[in-house]
Structure 1
Amino acid sequence: MPTPLLQIDRLTKSFGDLVLFNDISFGIAEGDKIGLIAPNGSGKTTLLNILAGKEPYDDGRVVFRNDIRLAYLEQSPAFDPEKTVLETCFSTDNETVKLIARYEEVISSGNQEGLDHLLAGMDLHNAWDYEQRIKQILTQLKITDFQQKIGELSGGQVKRVALANVLISEPELLIMDEPTNHLDLEMVEWLEEHLTRNNISLLMVTHDRYFLDRVCNQILEIDNKQVFSYKGNYSYYLEKRDERVMAQNAETEKARNLLRKELDWMRRQPQARGTKAKSRIDAFYSLEEKAQQKKDGQNIRLAAKGSYIGKKIFEAKEVSKRFGNVRITEKFNYIFTRYEKMGVVGNNGTGKSTFVKMLLGVEEPDSGGFDIGETVNFGYYSQDGLQFDEQTKVIDVVQAIAEVIDLGDGHRLTASQFLQHFLFPPEKQHNYVYKLSGGEKRRLYLCTVLIKNPNFLVLDEPTNDLDILTLNILEEYLAGFKGCLIVVSHDRYFMDKVVDHLLVFHGNAQIQDFPGNYTQYREWKVAEEKKTAKEEKTAGGGPKTSTSVPETPPHRKRPEEKKKLSFKEKQEFESLEQEIEQMEAEKERITNELSSGNLSTEKLMAKSNRLSELIDLIDEKTMRWLELSDRDQ
């Protein structure tokens, strides 16, 4: 049986009237790799801070195994800005560093007492090559100037130094808060493999769902102030959570039916009744509470209409940009098409954010430029755009931009309803911004971008600090978004769900246009590496360490002049719009009927088959409409 490392019993934590979790219990044993999932503001970071001894709790017990080696990666680590990277790594409080310090002290003092014991400890902890191992991990995380002062590093670089620190200490239990933030895709995959390969117990908060799926063997979920445990990876959690929510909803529906009967009785009963009546009244209020429990919030579908966008989106013409000797783009040409959904990936420092800023006019290219269509209305979510008046109420922040948002088809949402879609209940909307968690502020910032109803969304690292439920809602929004999209992200799962092709920044102005999502790109890259290695072996050459990329930037050719629509095609084009609208309405009607629970088995089968036919027909006719629409401009 695995050795228990940590036991949490009946833990409760609140801030004033806000209860984060109440009476929760769970344990962590050797070999457990646990992902902690909860909406922003539910206390994930607070729980990790409690376990790391950085924050008090109201009630309960936190019991660690004696002499456990524990390491904690905070979301925003703080170090002495005057120390170098290497000095910072040697100033951490772990056993190996203490051994090295004592060894240096003994050697410099000339007093050999206790040296044999120290030498044995140095051997046991592999302390002799500690500095070399630190440098190896730092290099993997793209920190190569070991003498640079911490105060000169960016926030992302400081986070990577902190990550190197906790990894090198080789703890028995590693607690991590958003370890993949500020890591590029290559680093994320390296960390994924490192944690999977090493026999280390983990408790971590992360929004990276592929990371959760591949690293974790258990998921903990904080929901409604309680904790639920799932013994499996993220895919298993999704399956079992769905079962739990369905069971809970069935229980809630049963309570609603009982409540109707009880409500009728309550209305008819005289005021002065005996003990039996009082117990029934108490039962009524208990039922009322159960019946009002909210159902699963993930069934919301929100698709904004987006303002009209014409055929011309933007064209990059001979765009060149460099910072000193670092080339970002070199005579880069690209024609962006209507309804395109592009992902931008690449290692940190290759120019992804600079490319986006040049497109938006925030950064000027050295030569060349972007020719942007007149109808384009950008919505920009940036890494550093989070700026609010902390003394403003949440609802006022959004209403200052727009009172309503147009969803199309005559449907409109007020600012308050829009906020509810993004998990801000009415009571939270009247809180001041300063009361929100970091993740909730990010979610509010996202709402301020989307409520402007742009037709071209540019999202630069949108997944950082957002919880998984918010990401699900954002993905649903983008799936129905009737406009253009560029996403810069290291979140592979998010990219796979929302983009249809990639611009891969390899560095030194080498940019690859790949027709597919991130997983397809990785599969292609691995296949290319194997093919290259095989060719090298056949030719008798040495192994090649990286996949070759195009020597010249991609040039998407200007489309040839399209043939105009014939009279018959014009008639088809006009009728298609009406047909698609009618089918969408029928699809929505059938979907509502299927979820009503009132259909017989035969009708259920018939409606399901019709729904499947409709989806195929809508796809087919939409593709034809897009083709004709493009030629009608």
Structure 2
Amino acid sequence: MANPLLQINNLTKSFGDRVLFSNISFGIAEGDKIGLIAENGAGKTSLLNIIAGKEPGDSGRIVFRNDIRFAYLEQSPQFDPGLTVLEACFQSGNEAVKVIARYEEIISSGNHQELDEILAKMDMLKAWDYEQRIRQILSQLKIFRLDQKIGELSGGQIKRVALANVLISEPELIMLDEPTNHLDLEMVEWLEGYLSRSAISLLMVTHDRYFLDRVCSQIIEIDDRQIYTYKGNYAYYLEKREERIAAQHAETESARNIYRKELDWMRRQPQARATKAKSRIDAFHELEEKLKQRRQTGDIRLSAKGSYIGKKIFEACNVTKSFGEIKITENFNYIFTRYEKMGIIGNNGTGKSTFIKMLLGIEPPDSGSFDIGETVNFGYYSQEGLQFDEQTKVIDVVQKIAEVVDLGNGNKLTASQFLQHFLFAPAKQHDYVYKLSGGEKRRLHLCTVLIKNPNFLVLDEPTNDLDIVTLNILEEYLIDFKGCLIVISHDRYFMDKVVDHLLCFHGNAEIQDFPGNYTQYREWKTEEDRRVAEETKSSRPSKPVEKAAPATKTRLTFKERQEFEALEAEIQRLESEKEELTRQLSSGTLSSEELIAASNRITQVIDLIEEKSDRWLELSEFA
């Protein structure tokens, strides 16, 4: 049996009279990679915050294994904007950083009573090379300017710095709240591979279904204040969840049949009922209450006719835009066709949002123009979100825009009915905006865009912070949408379902038109990269036969033999120096200046030993 790392017992959390979850229990063992799924507002982030000790639960118990290394990536990490990237990584508060801070405090104070203990901890946590690990992880996450201020970074860059802070500490258990939000596709795929290969145990909230499917081996769903556990990936969860819902429907239908019979019996009873019938009456009221609480979980499908759109949509004519030396577009031309559904992908900073802002007239091009058809009625969902009056009720926000939405074929929905399709129950519609979760506010923003009945939707990162249930509803809406669509998204599953071709922004005004969805693009790019690599290899000039190296190396050259023997002696010398430095640091006889010098030198020695050992191992294969 796997070693347990964390156990949650009978945990309950509520806000006022609203219960998020009640008496839930589950555990996390070594090697578990768990995805946490629920509707927005069901308590996913609250559960993670309670486990991390950032907010209290109402009741229940959370037990971590002793001395566990634990890290938490919050949905919206916060750093002091005045710190540099490197300083922010040393502000993380993980165990290694605390030990480094304590070591420096001891060195500077001259009081060496705890030095032996701290040195042992420095070795155990590999704290001597902590800064080197920071640089390595940040470079993998495409953060290269370690002296840049946090206040100058984009949301995606800040998320990557926070992610680096989590990974650098090499925890045994990590919790990630929407780790793919604000990451571009390249970073999402890197993180997916990293977590899949790693032995780290994981509890994660994400709406990225490909990510869930490829990383997680277990799914926990919060539904109707309870949890349901599925021992498999996301595809397995979908299958078993359908079976659970079907069983619940059958149980509910059986209960309704009993209820109808009991209701008929209740109506036929005289007012002065016999005492012996009291238990049956009580059972009837209990059944009635249960049926009231049961909610319908059938498929929600919403479609809108979209207002009429003519044949002319828009034409981009020699559009050029740059910010200083950063080129977004250069003499870009494109004719957008009727009912086209385009996805825009590319790394952060390549100009995707700027492009659609130029189309919408929010950002002017440096030269060129967009010629837009007279019948085009844009609906724009922005990445920044919408600023609501926090003291306004949800229903009032939507009714100010439209009381009724026309679905075509004589079908209409009131604002309240429309909100219900996007999972705002009637009671929830009368909540004030300030009571909504971040995901619920994004969902409300989406409703304010769609209820205007546009014929051209422009959606910039619509999937961020939306739960999977809402994503499914939105996907079905967009598939049936009788209009045009441009969507920017890092959600690969979402893009595969709703778009028919892509504009790929590669940076420096290089824009590629690809006829297919994201998965087809990745398959093409992988094959193209392989083909280019093979062509490059075959195009290199071949060396003369007499100078060609043997196909298989079997022995060292004379110079390599000399290097190999020298390395053995050098590594032995460095190991001796390391032992001597460790002895000096532990002796308590060094001055503050000598301690600092010895501390710096031992870090250099460790790096040299690692570098020369790698080379020795490489040469030893042929020695």
Q: TM-score, normalised by structure 2?
A: 0.85
2:260 — aligned with what? Answer: 260
How far is the alpha carbon of 1:120 from its aligned partner? Answer: 4.5
How far is the alpha carbon of 1:166 from its aligned partner? Answer: 0.6
1:434 — aligned with what? Answer: 434
Structure 1 residues 112 and 58, CA gap change in structure 2 (3 angstroms): closer
1:563 — aligned with what? Answer: none
Q: Provide the rounded CA distance (Å) in 2 between the counterparts of 1:365 and 1:294.
A: 54
Q: Counterparts in 2 of 1:19-34, with a 5 A limit?
A: 19-34=19-34
1:176 — aligned with what? Answer: 176
Q: Counterparts in 2 of 1:223-302, with a 5 A limit?
A: 223-294=223-294, 296-297=296-297, 299-302=299-302
Q: Are residue 211 (structure 1) and residue 211 (structure 2) matched?
A: yes
1:373 — aligned with what? Answer: 373
Q: SS of the counterpart of 1:97?
A: helix
Residue by residue, what CA displacement relative to the aligned partner does 1:64-104 show, whole Å, maximum 9, x if unpaired?
Answer: 11111111111122222222110110122222223333443
How far is the alpha carbon of 1:378 from its aligned partner? Answer: 0.4
Q: Provide the rounded CA distance (Å) in 2 between the counterparts of 1:386 and 1:465.
A: 14
Residue by residue, what CA displacement relative to the aligned partner does 1:544-564 show, whole Å, maximum 9, x if unpaired?
Answer: xxxxxxxxxxxxxxxxxxxxx
Q: Provide the rounded CA distance (Å) in 2 between the counterparts of 1:27 and 1:541.
A: 60
2:156 — aligned with what? Answer: 156
Maintained 8 Å contact 1:252/1:293: no
Residue by residue, what CA displacement relative to the aligned partner does 1:278-318 show, whole Å, maximum 9, x if unpaired?
Answer: 21111112222333454553512111000001111111010
2:412 — aligned with what? Answer: 412
How far is the alpha carbon of 1:403 from its aligned partner? Answer: 0.6
Residues paired across the two proteins, number: 542
Q: Counterparts in 2 of 1:544-559, with a 5 A limit?
A: none
Residue identity matched to 1:137? I
How far is the alpha carbon of 1:163 from its aligned partner? Answer: 1.1
Q: Provide the rounded CA distance (Å) in 1 between the counterparts of 2:304 and 2:380.
A: 16
Q: Provide the rounded CA distance (Å) in 1 between the counterparts of 2:387 and 2:120.
A: 54
Structure with higher Rg: it is 2
How far is the alpha carbon of 1:148 from its aligned partner? Answer: 1.8
Q: Provide the rounded CA distance (Å) in 2 between the counterparts of 1:113 and 1:530.
A: 59
Q: Provide the rounded CA distance (Å) in 1 between the counterparts of 2:191 and 2:398.
A: 38
Identity of aligned residues (%): 78
1:94 — aligned with what? Answer: 94
Q: SS of the counterpart of 2:505?
A: strand
Q: Provide the rounded CA distance (Å) in 2 between the counterparts of 1:499 and 1:247.
A: 35
Maintained 8 Å contact 2:463/2:491: yes
* Structure 2 unmatched runs, 5+: 543-623
Q: Provide the rounded CA distance (Å) in 2 between the counterparts of 1:296 and 1:189.
A: 36
Maintained 8 Å contact 1:181/1:464: yes
Q: SS of the counterpart of 1:297?
A: coil
1:77 — aligned with what? Answer: 77
Maintained 8 Å contact 2:385/2:442: no
Residue identity matched to 2:371? D
Q: SS of the counterpart of 2:143?
A: coil
Maintained 8 Å contact 1:245/1:295: no
How far is the alpha carbon of 1:328 from its aligned partner? Answer: 0.1
Maintained 8 Å contact 1:253/1:291: no
Q: Counterparts in 2 of 1:84-163, with a 5 A limit?
A: 84-108=84-108, 118-163=118-163
1:472 — aligned with what? Answer: 472
Q: Provide the rounded CA distance (Å) in 2 between the counterparts of 1:153 and 1:343.
A: 26
How far is the alpha carbon of 1:36 from its aligned partner? Answer: 0.6
1:335 — aligned with what? Answer: 335
How far is the alpha carbon of 1:408 from its aligned partner? Answer: 0.6
Residue identity matched to 2:271? Q
Q: Provide the rounded CA distance (Å) in 2 between the counterparts of 1:115 and 1:529.
A: 53
* Structure 1 unmatched runs, 5+: 543-633
1:312 — aligned with what? Answer: 312
How far is the alpha carbon of 1:137 from its aligned partner? Answer: 1.9
Maintained 8 Å contact 2:245/2:297: no
Please report the RMSD computed on the Cα atoms of aligned residues, expressed in angstroms. Answer: 1.6
How far is the alpha carbon of 1:245 from its aligned partner? Answer: 0.4
1:628 — aligned with what? Answer: none
Q: SS of the counterpart of 1:137?
A: helix
Residue identity matched to 2:193? E
Q: Provide the rounded CA distance (Å) in 2 between the counterparts of 1:144 and 1:79.
A: 18
Residue identity matched to 1:163? L
Q: Counterparts in 2 of 1:524-603, with a 5 A limit?
A: 524-540=524-540
Residue identity matched to 1:231? K
2:360 — aligned with what? Answer: 360
Q: Provide the rounded CA distance (Å) in 2 between the counterparts of 1:294 and 1:144.
A: 53
Q: Provide the rounded CA distance (Å) in 2 between the counterparts of 1:457 and 1:276.
A: 64
Q: TM-score, normalised by structure 1?
A: 0.83
